[in-house]
Amino acid sequence: MKKIYRVFILAAVLTFCAGFALLQYQGQRLERYQAQFFDCFDTVTTITGYAKSQEDFSQKVGLLQEKLMFYHKLYDIYHTYDGMNNIKNINDAAGKEVVKVEPEIIELLKLGRDMYEKTGGEVQIAYGSVLSLWHKYRQEGIEHPDQAELPPQEELNRRAKHTNMEKMILDEKASTVYLSDKEMSLDVGSIGKGYAVSRLAEYAREIGMEHVLISVGGNVCAVGGKADGTPWNVGVENPDSNSSQPYMCSVELENQSIVTSGDYQRYYEVEHVRYCHIIDPDTNMPPDYFSSVSVQTKDSGQADALSTALFNMEYKVGLSLVERLPDVEAMWIGKDGKIRCSSGFKCNEKK
């Protein structure tokens, strides 16, 4: 029944709203439109932008959806697809053979390696063997809450021995990937969606979308500002689902991204304790420092990686990292709801 329902949802991929604003831009009359689709990266994608007509907007959104679906398939760790080698193909071939891949996979894995080094190992795309065990126990715990259990620490520690980034061998010239450890697997959940959003923003510019806001789950990227010259205003979600205040604050975006990682959407509970989907490579357990961390910077892939890394770090350590990185700002929301920000983060708090 679950699969049938999902197919029904995917069949109705686009919904549109028009008429939010009517503007004159470079001699053209533009209206503001919004579209949503549900079939990429297991989340809702919302595209907001300006166009001469709904037909023009829908045609361009269709191109964006097609491009995002390409990345969705490419970075999938659960399914394979005809005509392409994706992350699952790489994992299936671990310890056996080299896999020839699209350049977009090579670039993603290079970003993963770079962010691993910049964050001191707090972003770990070669951590799939550990994450898959957590995924199994989380899914079982969600389906059968009364039987929810934690993964055995001994097995987590054993699997953690098969997460050596040096055993991910990239050949850029040949465009191939080889995992030399047969028990190793990649999981690009910490960077894949953000990287795809960055590439989608580049593609939006190529097809003439100069003023568009792209939101893929917790990854938001602004191409330009609004057509009237003002920045986009984006709310940062309140991690407390019981609060009457849906957003903690808002930020202004123009040619920038903001990505949030938190413990309030993907989690399960064991003996009334919440365990989220983000796992700290230092402990093989979910961290318990914050309810959410948001990162604002130009590149959505970097923002995605950093929001995960900062979620795994104590505040002072994370703040030190952010202040060393150029054009990167962050906001932390503590378990007590307290907001703390880096020096350049402009947070318009909701009253």
pLDDT at 195 over 90: yes
Q: What is the DSSP letter of 306?
A: H
Q: What is the mean pLDDT of residues 290-313?
A: 97
340/328 Cα distance (integer angstroms): 15
Q: Is residue 307, in this structure, part of any structural domain at all?
A: yes
300 vs 9, 33, 202, 224, CA distance in Å?
Answer: 27, 23, 11, 14
- Residue 4: pLDDT band with limits 50, 70, 90: very low
Q: Are residues 69 and 169 in the same domain?
A: no
- Residue 16: pLDDT band with limits 50, 70, 90: very low
Task: Give the H/E segment covering residue 315.
Answer: helix 315-324
316 vs 133, 286, 297, CA distance in Å?
Answer: 30, 19, 20
Q: Are residues 117 and 41 in the same domain?
A: no
Q: Give the phi and the psi of residue 57 in degrees, each rounded to 5.
A: -65, -45
Q: Are residues 210 and 339 in the same domain?
A: yes
Nearest C-alpha neighbor of 329 from the set 342, 312, 314, 318: 342
Q: Are residues 167 and 286 in the same domain?
A: no
pLDDT at 245 over 90: no
147 vs 15, 118, 138, 139, 143, CA distance in Å?
Answer: 39, 39, 11, 11, 9
Q: Are residues 110 and 227 in the same domain?
A: no
Please count the structural domains in the chain: 2
pLDDT tens per residue, range 84-142: 999 999 999 999 999 999 999 999 999 999 999 999 999 999 999 999 999 999 999 99
Q: Are residues 344 and 215 in the same domain?
A: yes
CB 310 within 8 A of CB 321: yes
Q: Are residues 131 and 265 in the same domain?
A: no
pLDDT at 278 over 50: yes
Instruction: Name residue, tokens 């707090």.
Output: 122
**Domain range spanning residue 288?**
2-75+191-349
pLDDT for 22 equals 46
pLDDT at 8 over 60: no
Q: Are residues 269 and 320 in the same domain?
A: yes
**Dihedral sign from CA coordinates of 209, 191, 285, 134:** positive
Q: Are residues 327 and 222 in the same domain?
A: yes
> CATH number for the domain including 301?
3.10.520.10
Q: Are residues 100 and 213 in the same domain?
A: no
48/213 Cα distance (integer angstroms): 5
pLDDT at 5 over 70: no
pLDDT for 9 equals 28
Instruction: Name residue, tokens 């509970």.
Output: 269
Q: Is residue 70, in this structure, part of any structural domain at all?
A: yes
Q: Can you tell me whether residue 195 is helix, strand or coil?
A: helix
Q: Is residue 82, in this structure, part of any structural domain at all?
A: no
pLDDT for 14 equals 45
Q: Is residue 300, in this structure, part of any structural domain at all?
A: yes
* Residue 272 Cα to chain centre, angstroms: 27
Picking from 129, 147, 179, the residue at the C-terminal end of a domain is 179
Q: Are residues 58 and 207 in the same domain?
A: yes
